[in-house]
Amino acid sequence: MNLRSRWLAVPGFICIAALATMLSAYSGASSSEGNSPVQPVKFRHTIHVDTLKMNCLYCHFAANKSFDPGLPAMSTCMGCHTVVQGTTPDNKAEIQKLAEFWNKKEPVPWIRIHKLPEYVHFPHMRHINAGVTCQTCHGQIQTMKQVYQASSLNMGWCVNCHIGQSNPPFRARYDCSACHY
């Protein structure tokens, strides 16, 4: 390494790294929009919500009273599925998987899809109680055979709604401390 390249290498690297960071952030490429992992048990929102017309709050019981929407306890699942065994072979197999977890006294390790960074607060109850539907953020979840992240969950996407650009329009605070506190 001659003198010149030595003096260029380190600042050059820093420049490239900084550029990469900014491009990545600006392009929104860090969003996991569309992420749709295969879950350990193929839970079907289509059957539960679209066909059986179950209310979202039956399982996500805390969505209107807590920051956290609430993940149903295994006992909630088994409340019905000790009786309901499914009709098609596929469904029977999945319910069987659920029962196996329950018999082992293990929770199903669901894979998380929607995740905001730690420095953002998203109080579910305020959105639900303001009349924002689940679908506004989570997409047409009742028709998803396998749940995917329908929205980018990036800040620009949040702010669009907070400044009243959604349909129907909502008005909410959008100063920094509304979410970053």
Partner 1 sequence: MSTDQDRAASSGPNAPNGVKRREFLKVLGVGTAATTMLGCTQEKVEKLIPYLISPDQTVPGVSNYYATTCRECSAGCGVIAETRDGRTIKLEGNPEHPVNRGALCARGQAALQGLYNPDRYRGPMARKNGQLQPVNWDEALQIFAQKLGETRSRGGAGSAVFINQHESGSFPGFLDAWLAAFGMPPHLSYDAGADHAVIAANRQTYGVAWPRLDFRAARLVVSIGADFLDSWGAMVPQQLDFAEARADHENAPRLIYVGPRRSLTGLNADQWIDCKPGSEMAIVQLLGGQASAQAAAQATGVSETVLDAFAREFASSTPSIVIAGGGGADGLEVALAANALNSRGNVGTTIKPNEGYLGFDRMASPAELRALATRMITGGVSLLMVRGANPAFTLPKAVGFAEAMARVPFKVSFSSYPDESSELADLILPDHHSLEQWGDAEPVRGTISLQQPAMDPVFDTRATSDVLIAVAKKDPANAARYPTADYRSWLIGRFPGGAAALAAALPHGFASGSLAEPTTPRPVPPVHATAPIEQSSGNMYLVVYPHPFIGDGRGANKPWLQEIPDPVTKICWQTVAEMNPGTAERMGLANGDLVTVRTAAGSLTLPVLRYPGIQRDTVAIATGRGHTHAGRYAKAGLNPLEILPDGEDRAGGVAFVSTKANVTKAGGYAHIVTTEGSARQHGRGIGQAIAIADLRAGRPGYDSGNANAAEIAQAGGTETPAGERPEGAAQHGEEMPGDASHAFLPGMRSPVANDAQGEQGNPLSNDKGMYDPKHWSGMAKRRWAMTATPRTTSRPLARTGKSARSCPIEQALAPICCEVARWRGFVSSATTRAGKTAAPISTRASCR
Q: Does 154 bind partner 1 (CB under 8 A)?
A: yes
d(CA 64, CA 107): 24
Nearer to partner 1, 87 or 136 (CB): 136
Q: Does 86 bind partner 1 (CB under 8 A)?
A: no
Closest separation in Å from C-beta 89 to partner 1: 23
Q: Does 7 bind partner 1 (CB under 8 A)?
A: no
Q: How many CB atoms lie within 10 A of CB 8?
A: 12
Q: Does 129 bind partner 1 (CB under 8 A)?
A: no
Candidates 3, 22, 26; CA nearest to 155 is 26
d(CA 147, CA 19): 34
CB 63 within 8 A of CB 127: no
CB 164 within 8 A of CB 107: no
Site string for partner 1, 91-120 (x = CB under 8 A): -----------x--xxxxxxxx--x-----
Q: Does 28 bind partner 1 (CB under 8 A)?
A: yes
Q: Does 179 bind partner 1 (CB under 8 A)?
A: no
